[in-house]
Structure 1
Amino acid sequence: MWLLVVFILVPLIEIALFINVGGAIGLWPTLAIVVITAVIGSNLVRSQGAREMSRLKQSFNDLNDPTEPLANGAMILFAGALLLTPGFFTDAVGFALLVPPVRAAAFRWVRQRVNVVEFGTPRPQHPQRADVIDGDFEVVDDGPRKPSGWTRPDDGPHGH
């Protein structure tokens, strides 16, 4: 229900703002503002998005929780969509989402309202050794083996 209200209310707000701003400064300056905010916003989205991608990669490399860089990336993507949508209200919300303290506050607000449940058995990790792969195995000995076609006939159970 609240989504329907948003889809009705946002265009009404935008139309009212276009009428008021256009009446105050004229048609061409109003259109110029819309185009300029889209250009500036897309440049900001690109630079901040690249920064968050590097933070995300670093969190994966360091085996840290990637939740915050992922959330920031999603908010930056949403900000880009808002900034490319013509309108003053959507531009204001889009530019606000490009301000890191605003994103941090939005992230904290959402995090307080979302309950994350983890499941599964935690496995020991070896962050100090990048060449270690954890795994489980079971040795199966069915007796003498026939050649499978994938090995040479002279390869025994131990190889050469």
Structure 2
Amino acid sequence: MRPLLLLFIILPILEMWVLISVGEEIGALPTIGLVFFTAVVGLALLKRQGISTVMRAQQKMQMGELPAKEMAEGIFLAVGGVLLLTPGFITDVFGFICLIPGIRQLVLGRLLSHVVVVHGAHTGYQQPGGQGADPRSGSAGHEGKGPRNVIEGDYKREDPDSEHKSD
């Protein structure tokens, strides 16, 4: 929690220092114009990248795939948009990192390499004794006797009488 608190204290101070320094070099109005310009360019880039990401996510969902990468990109785009709307040049740099596709892909690739996406949901299973249990809970049939082996898979119930019925 402390690093986040320090970020919210130190970042605004750094932003003010950079804005004052740039203002001393190029003047107050050009500095304000530059901050406004980065916000406008960032919003245009956000709109374009956001639409592209939503379209790719819809295509993946139509193919029955989980759009995990697109969801992560959506989060990055939202964070980048907020950072670009925040006045300051330091936040603008991080905002553009989130919005520029090549850089965003590089950062996301590194972050997503540490993430495991699990498709599907556990709804419970029937134990041999007839008691239902959630395989994640560690209860009902597992009294701490070591690790359990869980085999995941799909199944289809078939009515055995349907094969023998005639039309």
TM-score by length of 1: 0.71
Structure 1 residues 62, 93: closer, same or farther in 2, change over 3 A? Answer: same
How far is 1:92 from its partner?
1.1
Deviations 1:106-139 (A, max 9, x none): 2122223335556535547xxxxxxxxxx8799x
Question: Aligned partners of 2:42, 2:112: CA distance in 1, in Å?
Answer: 26
Greater relative contact order structure (CA < 8 Å, 6+ sep): 1
Question: CA 1:74/1:137 → structure 2, altered by over 3 Å: closer, same or farther?
Answer: farther
Show the counterpart of 1:16.
17
Post-superposition Cα deviations, 1:72-97, rounded to whole Å, max 9, x if no partner, equal 11111111100111100111111121
Cα distance in 1, alignment partners of residues 89 and 11 from structure 2: 10
How do 1:4-83 and structure 2 match up within 5 A?
4-83=5-84
Distance in 2 (CA, whole Å) between partners of 1:27 and 1:109 is: 39
Distance 1:59 1:112 in 2: 20
- Cα separation, partners in 2 of 1:69 and 1:21, compared to 1, 3 Å: same
Larger Rg: 1
Aligned residues: 128
Which stretches in structure 1 are left out of the alignment for 5+ residues? Answer: 125-134, 139-160
Letter of the structure 2 residue corresponding to residue 112 of structure 1: S
Identical pairs, percent: 34
Equivalent-residue separation in structure 2 for 1:60 and 1:115 (angstroms)? 19
RMSD after superposition: 2.2
Q: What 5-or-longer segments of structure 2 have no aligned partner?
A: 123-151, 160-167
Question: Which range moves more in the overlay, 98-107 or 73-82?
Answer: 98-107
Q: Distance in 2 between matches of 1:62 and 1:82?
A: 33
